[in-house]
Amino acid sequence: MTSHNGRRVVITGIGLVSPLGTGIEENWTSLMEGRSGIGPITRFDAGPFSTRIAGEVKNYNAEDYIPRKELRKMDPFLRFALVAAGLAFDDSQLKISPDLAPRAGVILGCGLGGLLTIEESHKLLMEVGPKKVSPFFIPMIIGNMAPGLISIYHGAKGPNLSIQTACAAGTHAVGEAFNMVRNGVSDIMITGGVESTITTLAVAGFNAMRALSTRNDEPEKASRPFDRDRDGFVLGEGAAILILEEASRAVERGAKIYAEVIGFGASGDAFHMAAPAPEGEGAARCMQTALDDAGIAPAQVDYINAHGTSTDLNDKYETQAIKTVFREHAWKVAVSSTKSMTGHLLGAAGGVEAAYTALTIDRQMIPPTINYEYPDPDCDLDYVPNQPRKADVTVAISNSFGFGGTNGTLVFRKWTGQ
């Protein structure tokens, strides 16, 4: 099968900065060991908050990819994006030459941008005065600076866009990048998602919504998608960058191909600011649209990387949406939520989970849903509980659903060259 206009799209590079580690191997080892990246918040005194845990990025060196003098001009989310991009370029062995530059673009998803810089700068403004606000304040906080800096650092002169659709942003970014390559707008797209919002204001805001887990005494067990005792999501941070290439070009240069991207779907719930539509109606339409776009029947899907946030309604309604689309195959397809280990990376989640799904296909191992202890009658599918599973994974999908009722689904397939 071929994509639109006969152009096929493959993933040739992956860069990861997450609570599970930096780079592919650290992330994959953590996934296969079922190791949680969630622990006590260390960025600020979380004592007054009802939630005192998060999935923080630890032990990464931004100076490997960013000159030291530039670091002070960058909010943490920009550093995450550039490090992940550097890792992806190293992995893909891609060099953007001057003649290729106009055919190489960047699309990145981000939810809230430079929230830490906003908080710190506002404090300076209030306590000291306007002259203390940095001249780099605006460039440090705007979401589109992440793809902007990636294009500057790597010489990509094609389309340059930022997508800000909350928790679906990373998935939407990969999907739109995929469309640009298969439709002939670009030959290479650098895409994914980034987020860094483990801050006082973000935690206070999500606590006010009662969205976060308060399992503070057992942080590694706090994110428990589809489990009966789930009590909210856990805030995470990080970035994932994928290099998408037109397939014949990737084959010609001898690139490693992790997986082929074959479909993308998006939908809107038109229901509520924060709650998903009842019975996952919007999510079901999104998955069906993606499968139709890929030309794939539900029974051909081997694995679903679920949105699986560890919140009551999301997990219940995503399960119902899978049943709506997959019918009797719903109980045969493997479903897991890697958020059980990473927490919820908001705008970065879709990028990270797209990378994990591609690696699942490449390595033929399905990551588990950890912390699955108590079955929920409303969540009765095969969630790959607690242990990774070796499996033949030819086709997989990845779901992301965001505030405002915005949904995205990506479809991936094992690359065979046929």
Please state the separation of Cα 264 from the chain's center in Å: 15
Is 379 a residue of the active site?
no
DSSP 3-state helix, strand, coil percentages of the chain (rounded to 5)?
A: 40, 20, 40
Q: Identify how many contiguous H helices and E strands the chain contains and give both numbers.
A: 13, 15
In the set 154, 172, 286, 344, the catalytic residue is: 344
List strand residue ranges (DSSP E) for 229-318, in order: 238-246, 259-268, 303-305
| Gap between the Cα atoms of 81 and 307, Å rounded | 22
Convert 86-102 to b/e letters by CB count within 10 Å (16 or more is b): bbbbebbebebeeebbe
In the set 110, 167, 286, 379, the catalytic residue is: 167
> What's the Cα-to-Cα distance from 293 to each of 41, 55, 258, rounded to whole Å?
41, 34, 20
Of the candidates 72, 75, 240, 64, which has an alpha carbon nearest to the alpha carbon of residue 153? Answer: 64
Of the candidates 44, 199, 236, which has an alpha carbon nearest to the alpha carbon of residue 119? Answer: 199
Catalytic residues: 167, 307, 344
